[in-house]
Structure 1
Amino acid sequence: MVSAVKIYIKLCQDAHFAPNDDVIAALKAAGKSGELNLRKHTLSSWTWESLGRVLSSSGAVFKVDLSDCLIPSQGVACLLGHLARNMSVHTLVLRGNNIQSNNVGRIGALLKHNGNLKKLSLEWNSMGLFPEMFSEFCEGLSVNMSLESLDLKNNQLPPEGARDLARAISRNKTLKYLDLRWNNLGWNGGQLLQAALKKNMSLTKVKAQGNYIPQEIVQALERRTPNDVDHLAQSEFLRQRLAHLKNMEEKKLVQHALESKDKMAEVVKLEQERSKELEELARANERKLQEELERSNSRVSQLENILSEREATISVLQTQLQETEADLKNTRDKVTDRESHHSTIAVERYERIQALTSQLEEKEVQLTRTEADAERRLTAEQRLTAELRARVQSQEEEDERLRQDVAQLNDKLKALARQHEGTNLRTRLERVWELVDKRNPSYIERLLCSTWTLLHEHSLNQEILSKCEREWEARTTKLQGENKVLTERLEVSERGKAELGAQLALERAQRQEEVALATQQTRAREASKLVQLEERVSSLREEKQLLETQLAQSKL
């Protein structure tokens, strides 16, 4: 099949088309198994034409399955034209391709020219909608000498098409299996098929259910067995043999009559003897046929008994199937109720999560506001602390200046005191002694008053100096106390801010963990319940499929 792949790739290159990977894979698989499987592949008309060319030149493909491909009309025409020249394909499946119009007649042409095709499946098409083309198809079927199995289910075959189909069946000599189920052949079509089967010597199995045909005719069509075909063939052979013998005897009698009139009596006698022999032979054949008919009737009665038993089994299986379907329906209702309940619980949990999230967001907003307020208060306190520190620093500078001024004043006072004590007092004492010597009491009194005034001023300056020192010490102590209080307040606010931030982070982490845990638990519970329900539904479906399979087998 490597050559087929090469041919397909070369055709694509010549036509400037990209090769289809699915087609290449199918051709490679066909090279190993002999089956070209392209089911449910939608391809272009040119691709189908190229596949037809590949099949016409390849002899390694024995089965072609193109089910449910919806092949375009032009693609069907090209494919059928090339398959008519193929001598290796013995099985062709064209199920579900909506074959219409002229392509129905092209299938008839394929049957005329292809002498190797043994099995053809055409179910789920629309061949019956085109009576003229279906007539051409039947003409091809009537002259075909290789086809053994034909599937025409669900093709909308009308009663008018039954006439052409019956004519083809009566002429065909190789067809063994014919499936006509689920069409519209009607009562008249059933009668025509029944009459055609009497002339056909090869068809052993016919399926005609779902055609609006009376049940007795359907049973007569489907009860046809290989023994019936053999009986018909044997009867036909006997009839032909008798006719041949009669012809031979007539010829001999005429010859003897012409040769000699004298032998007429002998000829008559021989004729009578021959007639007696023929009658005896006919009676013997009739007895054989009667015996065969009786055996066939007994076989038919046995088959009817088997059929009744199988019908009883089918009814039991149908009852079980109905019960299973009821259980499946109840289970589906329960699943629906549980899904609605789970959806309600999920909505409630989602609403709770949303509420918790909103509460968490509100708390985060409150914490953010608290942090902002704390930061603002901290900023204000820091600003106030800076101002107080600046004030303390300026007060310290002022105190330093006051200290320096007081020291300078003290130095000046001390210098003045020493000066007064040293010079003035001495000069005044000298003047006093002079005045004493001069006996001037008024001057001495004034001098003593001025001296007393100077001493009083000195004492006042000493008191002012000591008062300034005490005030400076008091203000310094007060400022130190305020500075200590502000520092403590600043430390307390910083510690409160750190504790508040840690508490906020802890609460946020706790809320997030709670939300994540609740979401995870909810999803895990819902997933486990969903898996259980899916397993239950799948088990019920398998039981239903098993019962349907048993029912189909019992019908067959």
Structure 2
Amino acid sequence: MEDFAKCYVQLCEEKASEPQEPVLKQLRLCGESAGGTVLDLSGQSLSLDSCAVLAMLLERDLRFTDLLLSDCMLNEEGVKLLLQGLCTNTVIKHLDLKGNNIRAVGAEALGKLLQQNKSIRRLILEWNNLGMWEDSFSIFCDGLGSNHFLQHLDLRNNQINHQGAGELAMSLKHNASLRELDHAINHNQERQNTLKENRSRTQTLSKEIHVLKEEKTKQFLDLMSNIDKQRNEMYHNSRTSAMRLGQLQEVLDERKSVVISLRAKLQMSEAELALSKQKMHDLGEVLNQAKLETSTVKEELRKGYEESAAREAKIFHDLTVIKEKNLLYQSKVDELERKCRTQQDQLFESRQELTTTAAELKLRAVQAEERLESEKKRFHQALKDAEALRHREVDHMTRHMEESERSLQERVQRLEAIRIGLEEELSREKAAAASGRAQTEEELQKIRNICRSEEQQRSSHLEEKLRLMTQSRDEVQSHILQQKQAAGELQTKNHQLNLEIERLKRRIEGLHQDLEEKEREKAAEVSKVKVELQEKIGHLLAEQTAQEGLKEKIAALERQQKVQLNNHREAVLDKESEIASLLEKLRLKDAEISRMKDEEAQRASYLQNAVLSYVQSCSLGALSPKK
């Protein structure tokens, strides 16, 4: 064994490749155990170079009788090189290639190995894929048919189909040395396995459908709860917006009343100014005498200026407050619009999720139907193959019986011809011996007795043959009846399986109908929710348009206020110019003012009352928004 390991290292160096340390270690261990006749490389991952070196060593090796290469995960080229090296080996009797995923190239190399090798008695090919490629498996079967030395062959779990099994049976007819074939073919077991698989798949599909239904109901309930929450939020927002709009309307009404009161006061002041103008024209001469009282009038005018400035400041302050409130309402309207957009986005996402889940359900249903169709096709193909095999066996037995009956009839005809010939000979003997009958009667009697005994023996022999043939015919008929019974049982099983498949189809169709009903209900609910949301959006848009109308009204009122303020300023300027003219006239009418002091005092009291009422109305208008 040390020589073998050294040769392995030497050949690896010649090929400029590194020897595998696990393989070298295993070679040394095999040399120390089992007398050095077993080369066990099971579970070692052999590289392509190692396979080539081992093939070269095994071509001329005379020590190893057992070669174990199970679970080595050999590739196609490595298997081919090893089997080419074993073609010329004359010592190895046991070859184990279990679990190496041998496919097309490996199957062809095995066929060549079986054609050329004459020493292998036991070949283990379990857990490979020899039956996947029909052409390569036919080459393997040809090699097996030409081999006359192999005694044990293990072909379990090689995915051999019915066609490969037929080729294997044809090769076994030519192979007379094989004593044990472990193939693990049992069609009934395969049918039971297929039935179990179908049942388990239907159970899993029903479970998946049930789980999907539960998930869909949960999602639908979650969606409805979200929609209810959104509905409540929208209702609350609409109520708050309505309350705010009512408050705005109240503030606008108050501002309108203030503006109306200001207009009335302005009209009163204009009327008073007109009266004062008339009186000033009338009292122009009196003003020349009222120079002493001009200082008091100036102070009163200064107070009027201060009061008008205070009024203007209050009006400007009120306008700024109104503008701030308008900006706040605008921000709230923007927030409502953003909430509407987010709700629309959430609805769009929920629609996308519904479409994706419906597509997944449809894909899973299509996959289940394709699986059922493939299982049905495979089962029908297996039944057809079994029926064809039974018909071939029945035809073969009937031909054999017909040939045996024809051979027996030919034998009976030959015996009849022999009997006729013997009778003719007897008649000739009788005619020839008629003259010497008296002398030869005893001899004729002896000959007759001998012929009779021979005929009896022949007839008994023929009767025995007929009896044996009838027995064989009865056995063949009983075998045919058994085959017919088996065929009937297979047909009943096939019918039962078809019924079960139809039942499963009906059940799947019922489940599909239930799913379609659920989808329709879900679509109806979604459409209802869409309609409600569209109505709510329409209401919100109407409210938004109403708010825009209110904004426009507020802007118009602001413009009117600005116009009125401008008019008031112009009126104040006019009044100042008029006051200047009046001052000039007052210089001339000092005397008239003294006489009209009482009237002016009364007029001042009237003005004071008007100012107090205006101040009170302004203070009430400023306090009402705070409330």
TM-score (structure 1 length as normaliser): 0.37
Larger relative contact order (CA 8 Å, sep ≥ 6): 2
TM-score (structure 2 length as normaliser): 0.33
